[in-house]
Chain A
Amino acid sequence: MNTTTQDTDATLDPVSHDDHHHDGPPKGIMRWILTTNHKDIGTLYLWFSFIMFLIGGAMALVIRAELFQPGLQLVDPNFFNQMTTVHGLIMVFGAVMPAFTGLANWMIPLMIGAPDMALPRMNNWSFWILPFAFFILLSSLFMEGGGPNFGWTFYAPLSTTYGPDSTALFVFSVHIMGISSIMGAINVIVTIVNMRAPGMTWMKLPLFVWTWLITAFLLIMVMPVLAGVVTMVLTDKYFATSFFDAAGGGDPVMFQHIFWFFGHPEVYIMILPSFGIVSSIVPAFSRKKLFGYSSMVYATASIAILSFLVWAHHMFTTGMPLAGELFFMYCTMLIAVPTGVKIFNWVATMWRGALTFETPMLFSLAFIILFTIGGFSGLMLAITPADFQYHDTYFVVAHFHYVLVSGAVFSIMAAAYYWLPKWTGHMYNDTLSKWHFWCSLISVNVLFFPMHFVGLAGMPRRIPDYALQFADINQIVSIGGFAFGLSQLLFLAVVIKCIRGGEAAEAKPWEGAEGLEWEVPSPAPYHTFSTPPEVK
């Protein structure tokens, strides 16, 4: 299939686009394997991410089942550690990041009036190497000695000298994930810089596009750092180097510096696109323009820049010099300022709007509140003396799940509901989607809120068994965990029903929605904007 020739021979007005024979997708499995179409690739990414979400979720349920009661019941501690490790890796690299890339693929060309991504063949490649990466990672669990068991942060020397034999597979799969992300990021940048429709000036870009552009730069800057650090782990373990081994002149704490130099920007990679999504949805259902568009752009950029200056806030207990601790404490506190600006702007957008509460809006509102709670605990963690007590306890687990699950994942759900009519041409089942929302909202809080308490009371993270005073709360948390997990099956049901049928969606199903994506029919035709639209 050759997109370029098709694009040039068809001068199609996207709105009155009719089904030319050669414009539809080819049939069968080869359509998906060979596709260079941004919508197909977006769909692939989104399904892949959802499957990974379920697999990673199943692992989380193994963890929560073991922690339902004190004592060792179901799994041995070594397997428990593999579950926490692979759960973390899958959720970060398999669920959240590919979901955002899927949304970028689908929506960025539609939002900027481009016919496709700038580098469609690389786009295909960057998706199709991902299943292999995760196949390798998951199959390492079945090796003798088991898969990675050193936490998703793979601190040396636990992952080097003391790591399992399968570490090479872990390293290889992280390399592939990194290459995929870098290719995806290059594609996003090239597309946004070069393929905006005439009149789509920088300060007219939808915020989703802005936040993704900035995310893509973060990715290009930090994924090579991750690749470097896994390679050092590889050579330390198998080729007798000693980057992280004091006996050979290395330093295990250096591992942490390099890892978190990647790791902190990485957490912003997982939240900036959410900011963009929420900034599209809240104005749509408030029927009012986004408050402070330009300050949103500047806040995103300053968060991205600051995110390179705070990495050692994950390492306060490693024994940094006082000056280092102070510097990283101040910078981390500073990051709360632009984050606050975003939240205030969303609230101001709602203020005196005309609100309605369709499911995308519900998820976005939940996002704002719950993400803010995660931001508060982040601020608490930034206070170094207090972090000495919080660090590596369930308080941190609560913090990052508030920002990642009720933050990033909720925003992805919001995006899915918002754009499903555009993707499938059908409205989703409203009742079922409301059930999905309310079940998720309640269970996510039953799951993660009490974790603050056990963490403060002194329960360390990454342990398979715990002292008796933590028993009651862990039981509540586990119940919340299973409820949240089951609630996501409702989402699966909604999506499948919506693909199969349902009320036909108009080109613009949401009264207050704005943007070029709503000017093409629903479902969006296989090729859109072959002639660029004019943006006024």
Chain B
Amino acid sequence: MKHWLYLLVGIFSPTLAASELPLNMTQGVTEISNQVYDLHMTILLICCVIGLIVFGLMFYSMLNHRKSKGAVPAQFHESTKVEIIWTLIPFLILVGMAVPATSTLIAMEDTSDADITVMVTGSQWKWHYKYFNEEIEFFSILSTPRDQIDNKAPKDANYLLEVDKPLVLPINKKVRFLVTSEDVIHSWWVPAFAVKKDANPGFINEAWTKIDKPGTYRGQCAELCGKDHGFMPIVVEAMPEAEFDAWIAGQKQAATEAAAQAEASLSQTLTMDELMAQGEQVYMARCAACHQPNGAGLPGVFPGLLKSPIIQGPVGDHLDIVINGKPGTAMQAFAKQLTAQEIAAVVTYERNAWGNDTGDVVQAADVSNFEK
């Protein structure tokens, strides 16, 4: 018997220690997340103690009050005193638990006096961040390559927990989040901050955090939001204030440059090949989740784009649905998500890929004219 135990311990302890399996809630990097962690550990401990007592008594009884050991059943089957005791004691334990829980909860819900406000908007299947008062906004999309998901390439360390543009936040500042959604319900969750808030379409929820340590913190959407719910991670880059300010300045600069480039692109004429190459990129990143990489769609859910009347028909209708989307369906309005150049490219791509071969070429200027 002893040997057997040693063997078990021997097998499991090094594997457990070496693999660093994540087994518990993260303590996180905010005061609140630490309080939540403490609450979690306290209640876990209380449950373990009660469990040990109750299960201990049960096992004692199972071992000692066996008929095979000659046990003769006792006759008692009621005791108001005992029953009152075991109603009252758990009640008091619960009251003891409710006190710290209440004070943590009150602190968590206090979104007043924030230093920065970030609007977080979920949509199928990406996050959009907008810094109030800064005119900076961008989408944040899963950056894990398709090949890794399809097991055609080795998976890297942050598989499914990496994005093209993380949310950047300063440390030691109270950041308020305004959370909402464009389509279905999503939920914005970063375990290290103990923030999880549902993004409800048409309503705005509030949450806040104050990060203690610089670092990269990863989370995921926590509310089933359709097909790619498992593929819309959240990455937050937390940095000291000076670095953050520099980042803001850099973003503003980049935004001005991008605007200038977008302006310039309106007078550019690209070749079919250039448009197709760029269009394929945009399509794979932004459209393929629904319309599928081969344009075939998912019958009954997302329409295929092969030989579709809209694609074979006038360019205007095609531009219309991509730019304005179709309200009440999963087809979003891409006017704000893509530049005129990108829309031109993706529309050209769709009209010529997968045997659509319309031969149509759409330029950025066409898109911007259409938008007017």
Contacts and interface: CB of A to CB of B under 8 A. Distances in A.
A118 to B, nearest CB: 32
A322 B98 contact: no
B105 A326 contact: yes
Nearest to A468: B159
A352 B65 contact: yes
A463 B39 CA distance: 27
A72 B164 CA distance: 21
B108 A385 contact: yes
Given A292-B78, A322-B109, A465 B298 contact: no
Contacts of B74: 288, 351-353
Contacts of A434: none
A385 B229 contact: no
A73 B104 CA distance: 42
Contacts of A414: none
Nearest to B183: A162
Interface in B39-60: 39-40, 43-44, 47, 50-51, 54-55, 57-58
A361 to B, nearest CB: 10
Contacts of B201: 157, 246, 252
Interface in A454-482: 454, 456-458, 460, 462-470, 472-473
Given A78-B301, A158-B225, A355 B90 contact: no
Interface string B2-46: 000000000000000001011111100000100110011001100
Contact of B301 (A146, A350, A352): A146
A384 B224 contact: no
List the 10 closest pairs (A to B, CB-CB), nearest first. A145-B300, A246-B202, A463-B230, A457-B22, A144-B300, A319-B205, A376-B47, A289-B77, A352-B74, A354-B67
Nearest to A240: B328
Given A319-B200, A472-B21, A369 B55 contact: yes
Given A317-B187, A386-B36, A72 B150 contact: yes
11 contacts: A253-B200, A286-B65, A289-B75, A326-B105, A353-B71, A355-B61, A369-B58, A376-B47, A458-B219, A468-B157, A470-B22
A136 B274 CA distance: 50
A151 B54 CA distance: 36
Contacts of A353: 61, 65, 71, 73-74
A348 B82 contact: yes
A486 to B, nearest CB: 24
A155 B224 contact: yes
Given A322-B109, A329-B98, A162 B58 contact: no
Given A453-B22, A465-B231, A468-B157, A385 B225 contact: no
Contacts of B98: 329-330, 333
A385 B38 CA distance: 11
A456 B301 contact: no
B338 interface: no
B36 A380 contact: no
Residue among A253, A343, A383, A453 with the highest chain B CB neighbour number at 10 A: A383
Interface in B93-125: 94, 97-98, 101-102, 104-106, 108-109
A471 B64 CA distance: 42
B330 to A, nearest CB: 6
Interface string A146-159: 10011100010110
B213 interface: no
Interface stretch (B133-141, B188-196, B260-268): B188-196
A23 interface: no
Contacts of B242: none
B369 interface: no
A158 to B, nearest CB: 4
A467 B160 CA distance: 6
A81 interface: yes
A454 B77 CA distance: 42
A286 B160 CA distance: 53
A169 interface: no
Nearest to A71: B151
B61 A388 contact: no
Given A329-B98, A467-B159, A164 B300 contact: yes
Contacts of A194: none
A286 B109 CA distance: 51
B105 A322 contact: yes
Given A77-B228, A78-B298, A293 B184 contact: no
B304 to A, nearest CB: 12
A318 B150 contact: no
Interface in A363-398: 365, 368-369, 372-373, 376, 379-380, 383-386, 388-389, 391-393
